[in-house]
């Protein structure tokens, strides 16, 4: 019988996490459940940093970026002795189930907790759009809007000064943000982790532009894929166009969630309460073909890993 639910946000924060927390509290309290907030992700479970949440605490957070519960990366949670302390705290607080909002690392933590007898439901909360079992993650569309706004601005100044702009975009091992931003902002070239790129192809593309009197270019690059400073020097040397590098960094993680993220987070939060009350545990929630769905978390982590969106990639390539 589920009476008390703990909620935590973990890993990199993502716009829409607050909307999900609010939905969990509202939907939970409407079912006469008690909802507890765990501060700073799994580290708060370990440190027993837990508070009561109610409708008052979550009022006016739907449209706020970040997470009111705080978030950390807590690799110590991979250690069984640390998790055992967390489990003791869960029991001490009479918490019957945990809802985790986060990315892949957070899913791994939820899977481990489930294996230790704690019912868990996970919601995909990350700007990277790389968690299993979902088409989209909470925060992805807000980050995408932020990136596109930034590239629009960069294009204005690059075109005015006849410069090349290299813009580094977050995403870890996933090029979704980069590909989508390239499509939405008309980038001249993009470099993503999933597909090796050739420097010479990039140079040829820019030189073709120069032949057509196009003396500026915007190149989108996913973080960690290549050395963008070295790339900028290479392009500058071989095109004679001044080349500037912009690292968008954590700006991409902040800001008010866009409407889609608010709706997705709200739907997923309410759905988490629904499936918990229907007796489910060890599940992760996703959106597939516009429907909110849930999967066994272990199965999803092993068999439903985020796949590369080749059709997006091919479309994006045709547009530059």
Q: What are phi and psi of 316, to 5 degrees?
A: -60, -40
Nearer to ligand F6P, 26 or 178 (CB): 178
Using CB under 6 A as the binding rule, whether residue 247 contacts ligand F6P is answered as no
Using CB under 6 A as the binding rule, whether residue 103 contacts ligand F6P is answered as yes
Using CB under 6 A as the binding rule, whether residue 294 contacts ligand F6P is answered as no
Residues in contact with 149: Cβ distance below 8 Å, sequence separation at least 6, in sequence order: none
Which residue in 12, 22, 26 sits closest to 265, CA to CA?
22
Return the ∠ at Cα 63 (arms to 59 and 67), rounded to 5°: 80
Contact indicator for 39, 68 with CB cutoff of 8 Å: no
Q: Which of 28-36, 126-134, 155-163, 227-235 is the region at the interface with ligand F6P (rule: CB under 6 A)?
A: 126-134
Nearer to ligand F6P, 8 or 164 (CB): 8
Q: Which of 16-24, 63-71, 112-120, 125-133 is the region at the interface with ligand F6P (rule: CB under 6 A)?
A: 125-133
Q: Which of 4, 47, 73, 274 binds ligand F6P (CB under 6 A)?
A: 73
Measured CA to CA, the distance from residue 57 to residue 76 in angstroms comes to: 29
From residue 291, give the alpha-carbon distance in Å to each of 228, 267, 272, 288: 39, 10, 14, 5
Return the ∠ at Cα 65 (arms to 114 and 130), rounded to 5°: 50
Nearer to ligand F6P, 206 or 265 (CB): 265
Active site residue 128: yes
Site string for ligand F6P, 5-34 (x = CB under 6 A): -------x----------------------
Measured CA to CA, the distance from residue 198 to residue 178 in angstroms comes to: 17
Name the active-site residue from 40, 96, 128, 188: 128
Q: Identify residues 258-287 at the interface with ligand F6P (CB under 6 A).
A: none
Contact residues for ligand F6P, defined by CB under 6 A = 12, 73, 103, 126-128, 170-172, 223, 253
Q: Catalytic residue positions?
A: 128
């Amino acid at each position: 019988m589920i009476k008390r639910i703990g909620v935590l946000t973990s890993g990199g924060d993502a716009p829409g996490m607050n909307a999900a927390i609010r939905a969990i509290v509202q939907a939970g309290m409407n079912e006469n459940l008690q909802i507890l907030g765990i501060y700073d992700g799994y580290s708060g479970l370990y440190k027993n940093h837990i508070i009561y949440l109610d409708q008052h605490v979550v009022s006016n957070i739907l449209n706020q970026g970040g997470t009111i519960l705080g978030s950390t990366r807590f690799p110590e949670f991979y250690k069984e002795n640390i998790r055992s302390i967390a489990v003791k705290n869960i029991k001490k607080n009479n918490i019957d189930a945990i809802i985790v909002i986060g990315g892949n690392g957070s899913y791994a933590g939820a899977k481990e907790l489930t294996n230790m007898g704690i019912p868990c439901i996970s919601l995909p909360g990350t700007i990277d759009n790389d968690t299993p079992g979902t088409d989209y993650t909470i925060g992805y569309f807000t980050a995408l809007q932020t990136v596109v706004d930034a590239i629009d601005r960069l294009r204005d100044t690059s075109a005015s000064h006849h410069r090349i702009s290299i813009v580094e975009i977050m995403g870890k091992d996933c090029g979704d943000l980069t590909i989508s931003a390239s499509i939405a902002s008309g980038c001249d070239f993009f470099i993503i982790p999933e597909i090796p790129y050739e420097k010479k192809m990039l140079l040829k593309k820019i030189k073709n532009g120069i032949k057509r009197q196009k003396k500026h270019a915007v190149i989108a690059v996913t973080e960690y894929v290549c050395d963008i400073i070295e790339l900028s020097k290479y392009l500058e040397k071989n095109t004679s166009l001044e080349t500037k590098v912009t690292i968008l960094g954590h700006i991409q993680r902040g800001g008010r969630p866009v409407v889609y993220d608010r709706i997705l987070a709200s739907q997923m939060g309410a759905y988490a309460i629904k499936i918990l009350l229907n007796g489910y545990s060890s599940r992760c929630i996703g959106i597939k073909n516009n429907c909110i769905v849930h999967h066994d978390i272990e199965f999803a982590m092993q068999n439903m890993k985020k796949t590369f969106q080749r059709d997006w990639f091919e479309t994006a390539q045709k547009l530059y």
